[in-house]
């Protein structure tokens, strides 16, 4: 978490908090009022994820009031820099701890999962189950395929799903995470697999979104619907 990011987040939240008393009922009728609430709600969730769940709303409101009213600030700039640095360090330590815990939990999950009947583990560490067999062609790294999928964390939380959206997607076999690149080439058109992807074959320590913690093992229900024919694609253009 960067200092300017934290400062911007606090400033935005303060716009919502300024002039509001926690005991006062807020009207949420007009689009502007609803949007204002949404800003506060989203930023509050974001700050909580960053470890800022102890944000002092009164202090935030006081800061924005002093700035808007052009009053003398109650803390010197070097004190503020020190405070932001402390929060940044705390957030980094929190994320490091969460990352370590996620890696350990993922390792344990894969060790246990590998012992289950029907689960195959490849040389790379990818694990898969054949849910539905078929005898269609297998894609090559250069192919574009059509798939349906549901992506979950190991606790069952869904973070993405073409099935829920009701629309399959086309994607290049070589243009996805390594676990998918390998898994897709094992499949035949018409088959359904369940992939258990180690973090190093997914996103590793880099979290692509708040929905996917760093070092997460990802579980995908994947159906290979078809392989695009380049000749037909070119003819249609």
Average pLDDT, the chain: 84
pLDDT digits (tens, 9 = 90+) for 106-149: 999 999 999 999 999 999 999 999 999 999 999 999 999 999 99
Instruction: Please state the rounded mean pLDDT for residues 99-110.
Output: 91
Write out the catalytic residue numbers. Answer: 149, 159-160, 177, 203, 220
The CATH number given to whatever domain includes residue 82 is 3.10.50.40
Taking the complete model, does pTM exceed 0.85, yes or no? no
Condensed to tens digits (0 to 9), the pLDDT of residues 146-181 reads 999 999 999 999 999 999 999 999 999 999 999 999
Task: Tell whether 80 is covered by a domain.
Answer: yes
- C-alpha atoms less than 13 angstroms from C-alpha of 210 in its C-beta half-sphere: 8
Whether 165 is covered by a domain: the verdict is yes
Domains of the chain: total = 1
203 lies in some domain: yes
Domain that holds residue 157: 59-236
Please indicate, yes or no, if residue 44 is contained in any of the structural domains. Answer: no
Q: Which residues contact 29 (CB under 8 A, 6 or more apart)?
A: none
The two structure tokens encoding residue 51: 């470890």
Residue 209 is encoded by which pair of tokens? 């979104």
For 172-206, what is the HEC assignment? EHHHCCHHHHHHHHHCCCCCEEEEEECHHHCCCCC
Assign 24 a pLDDT band (cuts: 50, 70, 90). low
Distance CA(196)–CA(107), nearest Å, equals 12
């Amino acid at each position: 978490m960067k200092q300017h990011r934290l400062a911007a987040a606090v400033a935005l939240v303060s716009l919502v908090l300024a002039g509001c008393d926690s005991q006062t009922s807020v009207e949420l009728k007009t689009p502007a009022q609803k949007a204002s609430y949404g800003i506060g709600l989203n930023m509050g969730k974001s700050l909580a994820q960053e470890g800022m769940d102890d944000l002092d709303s009164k202090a935030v409101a006081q800061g924005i009031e002093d700035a808007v009213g052009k009053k003398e600030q109650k803390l010197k700039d070097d004190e503020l820099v020190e405070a932001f640095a402390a929060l940044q360090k705390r957030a980094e330590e929190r994320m490091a701890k969460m990352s370590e815990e996620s890696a350990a939990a993922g390792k344990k999950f894969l060790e246990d999962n590998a012992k289950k009947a029907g689960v195959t583990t490849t040389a790379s560490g990818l694990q898969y189950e054949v849910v539905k067999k078929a005898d269609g062609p297998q894609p090559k790294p250069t192919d574009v395929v059509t798939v349906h999928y549901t992506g979950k964390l190991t606790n069952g939380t869904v973070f993405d799903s073409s099935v829920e959206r009701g629309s399959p997607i086309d994607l290049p076999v070589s243009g996805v995470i390594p676990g998918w690149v390998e898994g897709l080439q094992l499949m035949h058109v018409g088959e359904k697999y369940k992939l258990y992807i180690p973090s190093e074959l997914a996103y590793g320590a880099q979290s692509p979104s708040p929905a996917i913690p760093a070092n997460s093992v990802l579980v995908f229900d994947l159906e290979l619907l078809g392989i695009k024919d380049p000749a037909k694609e070119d003819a249609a253009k």
